[in-house]
Amino acid sequence: AAPLNPAVLPLDWLLGTWESDEPGEGSFPTIPPFRYTETLHFTHVGQPVINFMFNAYHAESKKPLHRECGFIRIQPGTNRVAFIIAQNSGLVEIEEGELTAQQLTLQSHALARTSFAREPHVQQISRVFQLRADGRLEQTVCMATGDQPLTQHLHITYRRAS
């Protein structure tokens, strides 16, 4: 395997596979609350880039639901981080933000969707990844849609599977 590119060394704590330890909580003012499980894979091939894949399932029925994949880059010489993301719902986005210690705080900078994407359309996304002192990874996602202001949609914690 290629050695980790030094450009992404500050993100080495993400690498590997993470599984939700208990079901995550989904919510939004317009939908019934739901529970989901999710597996995250962060890999690299020696480029100054981290590759990722997130696969979520309904906690009770185990049906595959939301999926996203993409790339993470760091602006050289800074703590500025960009996520380049494609979602199975037909949404693509660029999220940018900062890496401070073992926390990533991201805001959507560009969103685009298929011409026939379902409404309501997402207008803004903010998310936080944090490696906690107990070794768990935590993700919180908020979104704004055409009819709702920025409100939490997802909260989940993962434990390292490999």
Residues that bind ligand HEM (CB under 6 A): 26, 28, 30-31, 34, 36, 56, 65-66, 91, 120, 122, 125, 141, 143, 145, 153-154
Q: Which is nearer to ligand HEM, 16 or 120 (CB)?
A: 120
Residue recorded with tokens 């704590």: 13
What single-letter amino acid sits at 133?
A: A
**Per-residue burial over 130-150, b = 16 or more CB atoms within 10 Å of its CB, e = otherwise:** bbeeeeebebbbbbbbeeeee
Minimum gap (Å) between residue 5 Cβ and ligand HEM: 26
Q: Which is nearer to ligand HEM, 48 or 58 (CB)?
A: 58
Q: How far is the CB of 160 from ligand HEM (least distance, A)?
A: 19
CA angle 127, 27, 128 (to 5 degrees): 10
Name which of 5 and 89 has its Cβ closer to ligand HEM. 89
Please, what is the minimum distance in Å from the beta carbon of residue 6 to ligand HEM?
29
Q: How far is the C-alpha of 162 from the C-alpha of 155, rounded, in Å?
A: 22
